[in-house]
C-alpha cells in the first residue's frame, strides 16, 4: 500500500498575484505554482501545502514574515471561517484591479481574441450591506471552533442559524453579525434564533434529516419592502404559527411573510408550494420608474444598486434608436427587456423557467409596456426558422446566461440569426471567453466593461459588445 505523501513547508515565499476563486498565487522553489487560500499579493509567508498536483500545489500561509501593503483589517468577526467574503482582507481598490485583470486575462488567454481598450471596472458605491437577498440555514450541530473543542467545556446548545461551512454540507457556522445585508437583517435572524431556541423549536439536522426549522430567507428591496420566508421540514401547525406570529408582531414592517413545508432531501424551494402567511406574496423593486414584482422564487440581481448600473451599460452598448427588434436571451423575469423596451421597436424575451416568464408578462403589464413579448423555451432549441419567421430577424441580441455560459448550440443559433450587434452580459468571464472565441470569426469585440456586483468577493460581471465584422 502506497504511503501518503507528507505535506511540505515552503519558507519565505512572496505571494505575487491573485488567482481564480479568491486564491492567491506564489511560486515554489521548484518553479511550480502554489495556490494559497489565505494570503494577499505582497505577503511574504511560509506555506504549508495541502495538495500536490503535477503542475501546482495548494496550500495555506502559516507564518507571515511581512504583510502586504494591500492588506486591510477585515471588518467582519467571522472572516476566515465563513467562506463568503474571501477578499475582505484586501483593500477595495486592489480587489477591483485584480477583478479587471482576471477579465482581461480570461478574454485574451482563454478566448484568444483581440480586445479594444477595456474600460476601467465600475466599482460598487456600497462595499458592505449591498445584498438584497440572503439565505440562512438552521442546524442543531453548529460548527465548533478549535478553542471550543479543546476547552473541554460542555456546550449546552449547538443550535446555529447561519451559513454552511466551506465544503461541508452538514455543518453550519452560527452568524452573529453579517455585513452583506442591511438592517433589519441581522436583528431578524438573531431574534428568530433566540425565540426558536427559547421555545424548544428543533433545528434541522442534515445528516439525520430531522428537525423542525430548516432555512430562513430574507429579501429587502430597494423600495424598503421586506420578505421573510421560513422553510419547515415538517408541518406542526401549533409551532409554525407560534414562530410566524412572533415574527409578525416583532417586525410589523415586514411586507411579505411566507413559509414552505419541505420534507425532501434538499432545501431548494423551486419545486415546493410557497404559502403566504401574512401580507403580500411578493415585494417590489423599482428602477427608473419601472416596478418589478419579486416573489419567493424570482431571480433578481442580488445587488439592486449595481444592477441598475449594469443595465444602463447594457442599454448604452445596445445603442438603440427605436427602430430595432431586440431578442433578450435568458431574460429571467424580463428586467433587462423592459429596461431597454422604451428605446426599441420591440423586445422578444426568451427564458427556460415558466414561472419567470409569467412574472415577466405580469411586470410588463403593470409597467404599461406593450412592445415586449415573452416566451418559454430551451434556448438551444427555440430559435427555429419558424420562430424567426414568426417574430422577425433581430438587429440586436442581448444575452445574460448563467455561470456555465451559453450552450454551443445557442452560440450556433446566434451565428445563424446573425444580428448586427450582440451585447453579452456575463457573471463568469471564463465561459464568456469560450463563447466569444466561437463567435470571433463573425463578430469583433468592440467594447468591454467590467462591473463589480459583489465587493469583498472574487466574483465580477462583465459586459461585452460584439459587432459584425
Identify whether 184 is preceded by a cis peptide bond (ω within 30 of 0): yes
With vertex at residue 88, the alpha carbon angle to CA 142 and CA 52, rounded to the nearest 5 degrees, is: 75
| Torsion sign, CA atoms 435, 21, 34, 45 | positive
Assign 3-class secondary structure to 2-34. CCCCCCCEEEEEEEEEECHHHCEEEECCCCCEE
Say what the pLDDT of residue 6 is.
66
List own/partner pairs for 207-215 with CB under 8 A and 24 or more apart: 207/141, 207/170, 209/233, 209/265, 211/138, 211/140, 212/236, 212/239, 213/138, 213/243, 214/137, 214/138, 214/262, 214/267, 215/135, 215/136, 215/137, 215/138, 215/267
Assess whether 276 carries a catalytic annotation. Answer: no
285 Cβ contact list (under 8 Å, min separation 6): 132, 221, 222, 223, 291, 292, 294, 300, 304
List 82, 85, 178, 427, catalytic entry: 427
Match 401549533 to its residue by C-alpha cell: 238
Nearest alpha-carbon partner for 37 in 28, 29, 54, 51: 51
CA distance 364 to 221: 19
DSSP letters for 307-327: HHHHHHHHHHHHT--S--EEE
Tell me the backbone φ, ψ of residue 468, rounded to 5 degrees: -60, 135
Say what the pLDDT of residue 160 is.
95
CA distance 455 to 138: 26
Cell triple for residue 104? 482581461
**With 0-12 CB in 10 A as exposed, 13-18 as middle and 19+ as buried, what is 167?**
exposed
358 Cβ contact list (under 8 Å, min separation 6): none
- What is the SS3 assignment for 463? strand
Say what the pLDDT of residue 3 is.
44
| Helical spans, DSSP H, in 321-453 | 335-341, 354-366, 379-382, 385-391, 408-417, 429-439
Cell triple for residue 328? 433578450
The pTM of the full predicted model, rounded to 2 decimals, is 0.92
CA distance 256 to 226: 6
Say what the pLDDT of residue 321 is.
96
H-helix or E-strand spanning residue 161: strand 160-164
Print pLDDT tens along the chain (469 aa).
444 556 789 999 999 999 888 899 999 999 999 999 999 999 999 999 999 998 999 999 999 999 999 999 999 999 988 888 999 999 999 999 999 999 999 999 999 999 999 999 999 999 999 999 999 999 998 888 777 777 777 777 789 999 998 888 888 999 999 999 999 999 999 999 999 999 999 999 999 999 999 999 999 999 999 999 999 999 999 999 999 999 999 999 999 999 999 999 999 998 999 999 999 999 999 999 999 999 999 888 999 999 999 999 999 999 999 999 999 999 999 999 999 999 999 999 999 988 889 999 999 999 999 999 999 998 888 888 889 899 999 999 999 999 999 999 999 999 999 999 999 999 999 999 999 999 999 999 999 999 999 999 999 999 999 999 9
- What is the SS3 assignment for 215? strand
Nearest alpha-carbon partner for 83 in 190, 202, 193, 175: 175
Nearest alpha-carbon partner for 60 in 74, 46, 78: 46
Cell triple for residue 135? 439565505
Say what the pLDDT of residue 326 is.
98
Match 452560527 to its residue by C-alpha cell: 174
CA distance 337 to 320: 13
- Radius of gyration, CA atoms only, the chain: 24
Amino acid at each position: 500500500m502506497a504511503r501518503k505523501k507528507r505535506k511540505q513547508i515552503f519558507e519565505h515565499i512572496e505571494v505575487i498575484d491573485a488567482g481564480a476563486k479568491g486564491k492567491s498565487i506564489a511560486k515554489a522553489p521548484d518553479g511550480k505554482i502554489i495556490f494559497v487560500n489565505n494570503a494577499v499579493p505582497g505577503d511574504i509567508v511560509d506555506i504549508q501545502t495541502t495538495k500536490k498536483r503535477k503542475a501546482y500545489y495548494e496550500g495555506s500561509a502559516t507564518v507571515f514574515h511581512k504583510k502586504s501593503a494591500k492588506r486591510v483589517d477585515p471588518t467582519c468577526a467571522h472572516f476566515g471561517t465563513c467562506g463568503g467574503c474571501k477578499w475582505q482582507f484586501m483593500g477595495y481598490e486592489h480587489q477591483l484591479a485584480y477583478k479587471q485583470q482576471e477579465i482581461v486575462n480570461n478574454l485574451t488567454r482563454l478566448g484568444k481574441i483581440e480586445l479594444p481598450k477595456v474600460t476601467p471596472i465600475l466599482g460598487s458605491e456600497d462595499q458592505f450591506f449591498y445584498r438584497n437577498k440572503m439565505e440562512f440555514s438552521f442546524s442543531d450541530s453548529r460548527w465548533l471552533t478549535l478553542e471550543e473543542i479543546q476547552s473541554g467545556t460542555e456546550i449546552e446548545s449547538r443550535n446555529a442559524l447561519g451559513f454552511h461551512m466551506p465544503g461541508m454540507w452538514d455543518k453550519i457556522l452560527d452568524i452573529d453579525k453579517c455585513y452583506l445585508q442591511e438592517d433589519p437583517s441581522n436583528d431578524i435572524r438573531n431574534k428568530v434564533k433566540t425565540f426558536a431556541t427559547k421555545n424548544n423549536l428543533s433545528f434541522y439536522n442534515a445528516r439525520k434529516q430531522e428537525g423542525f426549522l430548516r432555512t430562513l430567507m430574507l429579501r429587502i428591496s430597494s423600495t424598503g419592502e421586506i420578505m421573510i420566508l421560513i422553510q419547515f421540514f415538517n408541518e406542526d401547525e401549533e409551532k409554525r404559527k407560534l414562530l410566524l406570529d412572533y415574527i409578525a408582531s416583532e417586525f410589523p414592517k415586514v411586507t411579505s411573510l411566507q413559509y414552505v413545508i419541505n420534507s425532501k432531501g434538499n432545501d431548494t424551494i423551486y419545486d415546493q408550494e410557497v404559502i403566504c402567511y401574512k401580507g403580500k406574496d411578493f415585494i417590489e423593486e423599482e428602477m427608473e420608474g419601472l416596478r418589478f414584482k419579486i416573489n419567493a422564487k424570482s431571480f433578481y440581481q442580488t445587488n439592486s444598486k449595481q444592477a441598475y448600473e449594469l443595465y444602463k451599460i447594457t442599454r448604452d452598448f445596445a445603442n438603440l434608436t427605436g427602430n430595432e427588434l431586440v431578442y433578450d436571451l435568458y431574460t429571467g423575469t424580463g428586467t433587462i427587456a423592459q429596461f431597454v423596451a422604451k428605446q426599441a421597436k420591440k423586445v422578444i424575451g426568451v427564458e427556460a423557467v415558466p414561472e419567470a416568464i409569467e412574472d415577466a408578462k405580469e411586470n410588463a403589464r403593470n409597467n404599461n409596456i406593450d412592445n415586449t413579448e415573452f416566451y418559454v423555451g430551451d434556448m438551444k432549441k427555440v430559435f427555429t426558422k419558424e420562430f424567426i419567421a414568426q417574430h422577425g430577424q433581430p438587429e440586436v441580441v442581448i444575452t445574460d446566461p448563467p455561470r456555465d455560459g451559453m450552450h454551443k448550440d445557442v452560440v450556433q443559433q446566434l451565428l445563424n440569426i446573425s444580428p448586427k450587434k450582440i451585447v453579452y452580459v456575463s457573471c463568469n468571464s471564463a465561459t464568456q471567453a469560450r463563447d466569444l472565441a466561437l463567435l470571433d470569426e463573425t463578430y469583433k469585440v468592440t467594447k468591454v466593461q467590467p462591473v463589480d456586483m459583489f465587493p469583498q468577493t472574487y466574483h465580477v460581471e462583465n459586459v461585452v459588445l460584439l459587432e459584425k465584422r
